[in-house]
Amino acid sequence: MTVAALTEPEIKAIRHSGEILAQAMHDVVDAVRRGVVVTLELDAIAEQAIRQRQGKPAFKGYRGYPRALCVSINDEVVHGIPQKNKQIKLGDTVGLDLGVVYDGMYTDMATTIAVAGSAEQRRLLAVTRAALQAGLRQVRVGAFTGDIGAAVQQQVESQRYNVVRDLVGHGVGRGIHEEPSIPNFGKPGTGSQLQAGTAIAVEPMVTAGGFAVTIDDDGWTVRTADGSLAAHEERTVLVTATGYELLTKPLWAES
């Protein structure tokens, strides 16, 4: 299935959606670094940051998801649900995933931070960020989704980590999840070709152990089957003739 290129008004709206999202994510990251540990409080910060900028949380209510923000801790890969009794502790690896819709246009972004983390945690995060950049370097008109996946996989596996196979990056724009699917593994020259004027979310999900995952009884929280640490980075980009335009640019120092 081919997704139609975004119109100029849609491109203007998705750029603003991405700006709102980056600002809201900054507020959440800053809150974690300031010592906010109750994940439900982080969710409130995220939603307020989005709404005060005239956006709407893209995740809240999506297929029944109850919050604006996903907070995934340690062996949780994605979709961890913020709760009053779910708190962040020193030494935790914390994945933050957030989406925004503005004027009908969706953007999606994730980052992972370590709270007083170990050298091994910092290495996992650095490899995941490097994998994101490796994938983004493949983005341009006419490139294949397999080019992105192969670049991510090579970067991750060269450092003796694994990419999650059951979850993928995706198209984004008029909906939060669109075609094409973008696995974080594959072969160059395979999959769907990228089209000018479409938006995609590139999102490596990396584990320190095996790539198998399980889903908790809540129906949302995905965690590593072997209990190993996981990390997740995601950016929304607009595909252009010469590469891509980054729509969700981090506004915080990545460390």
The pLDDT value given to residue 56: 98
Identify which of 106, 198, 105 has the alpha carbon closest to the alpha carbon of residue 143: 198
E strand intervals along 26-75: 56-57, 69-73
The pLDDT value given to residue 153: 98
27, 47 Cβ separation under 8 angstroms = no
Q: Which amino acid is at 229?
A: L
pLDDT tens digit at each of 255 positions of the chain: 578 999 999 999 999 999 999 999 999 999 999 999 999 999 999 999 999 999 999 999 999 999 999 999 999 999 999 999 999 999 999 999 999 999 999 999 999 999 998 999 999 999 999 999 999 999 999 999 999 999 999 999 999 999 999 999 999 999 999 999 999 999 999 999 999 999 999 999 999 999 999 999 999 999 999 999 999 999 999 999 889 999 999 998 886
220, 68 Cβ separation under 8 angstroms = no
Give me the residues paired with residue 200 across strands. Answer: 171, 237
Please work out, in degrees rounded to the nearest 5, the angle formed at the alpha carbon of residue 145 by the alpha carbons of 205 and 20.
60
The pLDDT value given to residue 253: 84
Identify which of 89, 104, 93, 71 has the alpha carbon closest to the alpha carbon of residue 221: 71
Identify which of 194, 184, 187 has the alpha carbon closest to the alpha carbon of residue 149: 184
The pLDDT value given to residue 3: 85
Identify which of 82, 86, 72, 16 has the alpha carbon closest to the alpha carbon of residue 47: 82
The pLDDT value given to residue 255: 61
Q: Measure the CA–CA gap between 128 and 161, rounded to whole angstroms.
A: 9
Q: Measure the CA–CA gap between 220 and 78, rounded to whole angstroms.
A: 8
pTM for the whole structure: 0.97
List of domains in the chain: 8-243 (3.90.230.10)
